[in-house]
Amino acid sequence: MIEFSIFNQYSLLSGYPHAYGAADPAVANAFEFVYCQKEVGQLDYPTALLDVRGLKADIVCVSAMWNFGVVCRLVSDPAIA
């Protein structure tokens, strides 16, 4: 779960996919849920991009609730491929 929030805390939105997936034992045993949170007011885009690329995740869930512009830039960045 990747979230660009306005506060230095995870919102309930971040917990929903984890709670839903963890409710199924097969999903809970097959996947690791990792959170990557960056505060929008202190965001350094190149560092955030490197952090996201470093996750090496098979499935990524991005919360665009607080900063849709950063999310759009991130998912369209050729360096993310």
DSSP the chain: -EEEESSSS--HHHHHHHHHHHTSHHHHHH-----EEEEGGG--HHHHHHHHHHT--SS--EE-SS-HHHHHHHHH-GGG-
Please give the structure tokens belonging to residue 58: 């098979």
CA atoms within a 13 Å half-sphere pointing along the CA-CB vector of 36: 18
- For residue 81, pLDDT over 70 is answered with no
The whole domain housing 17 covers 2-80
Number of domains in the chain: 1
Tens-place pLDDT, residues 2-52? 777 776 666 667 778 888 888 999 999 998 888 888 887 788 888 888 888
